Amino acid sequence: MRSVKKYLAECIGTFVLVFFGCGTAATVGCSAENGTGYLLTALAFGLVIVAMAYSIGNVSGCHVNPAVSLAMLINGKLSVKDFFGYVVSQCIGATIGAALLLPFISKETGLGTNGLYKGNVGLSLLIEVILTFVFVLAIMGVTSKEHFGASAGLVIGLSLTLVHILGIAYTGTSVNPARSLGPALLVGGDALKNVWVFIAAPLVGGALAALCYRFMDSAKKSKSK
């Protein structure tokens, strides 16, 4: 029953992320000329994480992102069973979130899907790996100490806002395979064709962040001895 509650929390959290984050992106628009749209979209994604961290964080940890769950698995903070349960729940939540946007926003808006930067797969992979690395590294650091607990949700939300402010101009910012997959499944076309980039890159970035943080943390502990 405990696992079911955690998976439900992850499903709800990712649903809210896509509904409000992608919904804001599709509603306000994120063209190069629309700086206000950039900022509103970045804030929407960041504020969702703040809200969810303080509502479902005590149930599931509020990963709402397979890249975060992978990082937690690598660093021994999540079991293999829960990793797969989390990822499936996150993808379901993201798809529901995108589907419930359709009565309000036509899929011609793109539903906040991601796109390749200048049609270049390599550059798109690179920017997403970097953005996810920074985001997940912040998560690993702020969740590693109990005294950060009260402010962790705010720090994580602001970190997501930060990577969106830069990344929207290049790929629309994924840093989250579930967030990209849900809308792409409903929009289809190029969004679905290229969604593998926004699944693979965040997973690589998240794994690198987990390994990097583990190395730095172990070095610090060895030095303190």
Which domain CATH number covers 17? 1.20.1080.10
Q: Which phi and psi angles does 117 have, rounded to 5°?
A: -75, 110
Looking at residue 33, its pLDDT comes to 63
pLDDT over 70 (residue 70): yes
Residue 120, SS3 per DSSP: strand
Q: State the residue for tokens 């509502």.
A: 55
Assess contact for 101 and 27: CB atoms under 8 A. Answer: no
Looking at residue 150, its pLDDT comes to 79
18: nearest Cα among 45, 52, 54, 47:
45
pTM equals 0.94
pLDDT over 60 (residue 224): no
Residue 94, SS3 per DSSP: helix
Q: What is the pLDDT of residues 203-223, one digit of tens each?
A: 999 999 999 999 998 755 555
Q: What is the pLDDT of residues 112-148, one digit of tens each?
A: 999 999 999 999 999 999 999 999 999 999 988 776 6
User: And the tokens for 146?
Assistant: 């109990």
81: containing domain: 2-224
Residues 6+ apart with CB under 8 A from 122: none
Give how many domains the chain has, as a whole number: 1
What gap in Å lies between CA 158 and CA 149, rounded to an integer? Answer: 15
Residue 103, SS3 per DSSP: coil
